[in-house]
Amino acid sequence: VEAKEATGDSHTAEWIKALVIAIILQIGIEKFCGIVSDSTGNTRLARQLIIRKFPTIIALPDVCHFLSLICKELAKLDYFEKTVKIVRGTIAFFHKSHLGIKQLADALKSTGETRGLEAIGKTRFCTIIHACASVQRCAPAIQKVVELGDVKFELSRQTQDFAFKNSQLLALGLPIAKAVHCLESNDANANDVYLLVHAVMLEIEEVVRNPDNDFPPETQEEVLGLLNRRYAQLFDPASPGNIASKAFIAAAFLNPS
């Protein structure tokens, strides 16, 4: 892996294009069949400029990044605002308090849980979902710490209400996190993208429409609207802000299995 020190440079689309083309020519155009990046303005335009110069290269969006953005959007819904706030506050407290860290570690041992709380970060995908899952997983141990009385920790909502909404968010977000994990495999291909994205969309739709999950009508509309918009971006070339590639459906069609 080779990196370029470019802290002082303006990373425009033309700058990225020049950098990538120099590497392509150094290695040999015949050894490249695709180019992948996230879909921010400069990287997306750079992708388009590169394939104009080399039509044999297929431009593809970073689908793991794309799916992770859906997780973030779900977590930002007003319905989950207080739930996410509690998750963030819980993790922040136990990561900053030395006493809390020690007591939680002891409580986790007593409950037989081997994994602790997971922080919400910016360099990994779907960390908000992993964080919510870790709070749910560690809830019995957290309760033991609170009951010790030495740690001042207060929830802003009743425990049952928080636990229920946290489980709702996980029901929506875990299918995405699992798909991202699969797509990060070295063996993942464009066919896997097509199949997994459709599987994720279908599962989330079933979750949100299931009356047993008790999503309010307005939240159902928000979630389904989000899914429709994101689906169109990835598969409909005519949609606003589309990052669609025919490679996904072609790979699925050509898959012999």
Structure tokens, 177? 């996190």
Shared-domain flag, residues 74 and 141: yes
The total of structural domains in the chain comes to 2
Helices (H), 97-236: 98-111, 127-148, 159-183, 190-209, 217-235
Shared-domain flag, residues 101 and 201: yes
Predicted model pTM: 0.86
Each residue's pLDDT tens digit, 136-149: 999 889 888 887 77
* pLDDT attached to residue 150: 55
List the domain range (segments joined by +) for residue 37. Answer: 13-61
Shared-domain flag, residues 97 and 210: yes
| Residue 216 placed within a domain | yes
* pLDDT attached to residue 152: 55
Shared-domain flag, residues 146 and 30: no
* pLDDT attached to residue 153: 52
**Contact present, 54 and 29 (Cβ < 8 Å):** yes
Distance of alpha carbon 113 from the chain centroid: 25
Shared-domain flag, residues 52 and 127: no
Place of tokens 């309010």: 216
φ, ψ of residue 34 in degrees (nearest 5):
-155, 160
Structure tokens, 90? 């819980």
Shared-domain flag, residues 17 and 135: no
Distance of alpha carbon 232 from the chain centroid: 18
Which residues have a Cβ under 8 Å from the Cβ of 235 and sit 6 or more positions away?
Answer: 244, 248, 249
Each residue's pLDDT tens digit, 177-223: 999 999 999 999 999 999 999 999 999 999 999 999 999 999 999 99
* pLDDT attached to residue 128: 95
Each residue's pLDDT tens digit, 9-46: 888 999 999 999 999 999 999 999 999 988 888 898 99
Number of Cβ within a 10 Å radius of residue 211: 6
* pLDDT attached to residue 154: 58
